[in-house]
Amino acid sequence: MNEFFVGQKVVCVNDAETYSPDCVPPALHGTYTVRDLIEVPSFGLAIRVREIVNPLYRHKHVGNVEYLYGAARFRPLESKAIKLFRKIARDVTEGKTVELV
């Protein structure tokens, strides 16, 4: 299941080397905005972010394309409010008493 969407804020959890010295890697723990989501048949889900625009390179099958990052390098960035609502939902589901102050 794809947990990403265009416009979503994400955080980089893996800043491993890129496949090319021309490709700018995302910074570990850096926050980014999803610009594009592309399903690559032999690779899986890939992401482009608004904050980084990489140069084009010549791909032998599809022509000039911008470098991509594997979606596994990122996780959704959740606000404290969303985390709190998720905790409340878990507590309610488990039958725990929830006190809202």
What percentage of the chain carries pLDDT values higher than 70? 90
**pLDDT score at 50:** 97
Q: What is the mean pLDDT of the chain?
A: 85
Rounded to a whole number of angstroms, the distance between the first and last alpha carbons of the chain is: 35
- pLDDT 10s digits, 8-56: 999 999 988 777 778 888 999 999 999 999 998 888 899 999 999 998 8
Query: What pLDDT score does 4 carry?
Result: 92
Cβ atoms of 39 and 45 closer than 8 Å: yes
In this prediction, residue 48 carries a pLDDT of 95
Q: How confident is the model at residue 3 (pLDDT cuts 50, 70, 90)?
A: confident
Angle at the Cα of 28 (from 9 to 1), degrees rounded to 5?
50
Coil vs helix vs strand at 3? coil
**Rounded (10°) CA dihedral 39, 42, 43, 45:** 20
Output the pLDDT for position 42: 81
Cα dihedral sign, 40-46-48-54: negative
What are the extents of the domains in the chain? 9-93
